[in-house]
Amino acid sequence: MFDALQENLGAAFKTLRGQGKLSEANMRDGLKLVEKSLLEADVSYEVARAFMKRVSDQALGEKVLQSLRPSEQVIGIVYQELVNLMGPVDHSLHLKGKGEVTVLMMCGLQGSGKTTTCGKLGRLLKQSGRKPLLVAADLQRPAAIDQLHVLGEQLDIPVYSDRTSQDPVKVTGAAVEQAKRLGADVVILDTAGRLHIDNELMDQLKRVDSRCSPDQVYLVVDGMTGQDAVNSAKAFNEALELDGVIMTKLDGDARGGAAISVKEVTGVPLKFMGTGEHLENLEPFHPERMAGRILGQGDMMSLVEKAQQEFDQDEARRLEEQLSKGEFSLDDFLKQMQQIKRLGPLRKVMGMIPGMSQLLGDMDDVDAEGDLRRLQGIIHSMTPAERRKPKLIDHSRRRRIASGAGVEPHAVNELVKQFDAIAPMMTAMAGKGMGDRMKMVKE
């Protein structure tokens, strides 16, 4: 995915770079190439236009044009706007507490990968300690029922079906009862699919939605179908009020435009992506990682980081203010870590701070980038309240955060422990000059 987009954007930025200061006309030419790259990647026309307007308003502003390296600033702007375009994403499945049944309704056109995704989701839930029940609510296609049974057997997850019934509402009701009997706590409904959106399908799904009141409604779309995927997401969302989109087949040569556009067109976030036919190929969708990947060619990301340094200075001032009020959250912690990574030699000084040294040591590993992303994945899987007060995270939340971030629960523990060690230092240092800070560190 994104190969052509990466290449075209790389070429667009190359024409902007190396020119030092840019005239407004040069900048406009470069931005046109950026827009063209997006359209060629199958980003919808309206989305590309609106996106470019936001980028241009900033890029053509005096602050950028007069800066030393305007082209680098533009890459930073494109990165940030891509992140804003695809996010924010709340990966939580909003599962109820233990002993209660959560119903996840999965919809999608035939062939989108809906049934496979039901299995993949069941697998993730099982891994995170939940007890899922797969339910065949596609009653028109006996083959779909068989397919779900095969998946259930592979995953050792129970499957409920009723081949005698023609009524998905009744089947769903009976399935919830069955879940209670089995002690299952998440019901995954594999609803009917059709080759095309038609009234009968929508009416049936609407009836299941209104009569069974599922807790979450997800749409599975095929990323290979590009704008069709986005259009069908729009139609489904108008009928059903989706809680999230899951885009499949992003492992293939999908151009990626659908993944970039779907949130802007529908207002519904892309929560997960299917990256292969195997049952473990389901990943949370992270806008920052995607934007990083899109711009990840050559040294573009380091330019993004440079462009962000200015932003960091504002951020440092904001942090200082917050710290002096005694507030330090995991979000601040993450930003600090990201900055430290960029500090280079200054890291040695920071390394003298107790707690930090251990973290920095870890980050000297070859995969410092990956470690930081992992930290970020964990922190982003927490609620805002938890980020401010990690003490709120109990056993079951820890497991869910870990599964949201694709890590083991002990990694969440580690992070919270490190945070607990650092937070008092950070707030104590607030408002003190560098000399005082060094004294504190030495003491």
Q: What is the binding site for ligand GDP (CB under 6 A)?
A: 108, 110-116, 193, 248-249, 251-252, 274-277, 281
Please tell me whether 113 is known to bind a ligand: yes
Please state the closest distance from residue 118 (CB atom) to ligand GDP, in A.
Answer: 8
Please tell me whether 248 is known to bind a ligand: yes
Phi, psi (degrees; rounded to nearest 5) at 269 = -75, 150
Residue 3 vs 364, nearer CB to ligand GDP = 3
Return the HEC string of 161-196: CCCCCCCHHHHHHHHHHHHHHHCCCEEEEEECCCCC
Residue 19 vs 140, nearer CB to ligand GDP = 140
Nearest-5° angle of CA 131, CA 136, CA 142? 145
Residue 34 vs 259, nearer CB to ligand GDP = 259
Q: Is 277 helix (H, G, I), strand (E, B) or coil?
A: coil
Please tell me whether 251 is known to bind a ligand: yes
- What does the alpha-carbon distance between residue 341 and residue 425 come to, in Å, rounded to a whole number? 19
Please tell me whether 110 is known to bind a ligand: yes
Please state the closest distance from residue 31 (CB atom) to ligand GDP, in A.
Answer: 34
Please tell me whether 257 is known to bind a ligand: no
- Which tokens go with 73? 């600033």
- What is the enclosing helix (H) or strand (E) of 306? helix 300-324
Please state the closest distance from residue 108 (CB atom) to ligand GDP, in A.
Answer: 5
Please tell me whether 191 is known to bind a ligand: yes
Please state the closest distance from residue 160 (CB atom) to ligand GDP, in A.
Answer: 17
Residues facing residue 248 across a β-bridge: 222
**Left (φ > 0), alpha (ψ -120 to 50) or beta: where does 162 sit?**
beta
Residue 31 vs 148, nearer CB to ligand GDP = 148
Residue 252 vs 361, nearer CB to ligand GDP = 252
Contact 341, 331 (CB under 8 A): no
- What does the alpha-carbon distance between residue 111 and residue 105 come to, in Å, rounded to a whole number? 17
- What does the alpha-carbon distance between residue 402 and residue 350 come to, in Å, rounded to a whole number? 28
Please state the closest distance from residue 15 (CB atom) to ligand GDP, in A.
Answer: 35
Please tell me whether 193 is known to bind a ligand: yes
Annotated binding-site residues read: 108-115, 190-194, 248-251
Annotated binding-site residues for GTP read: 108-115, 190-194, 248-251
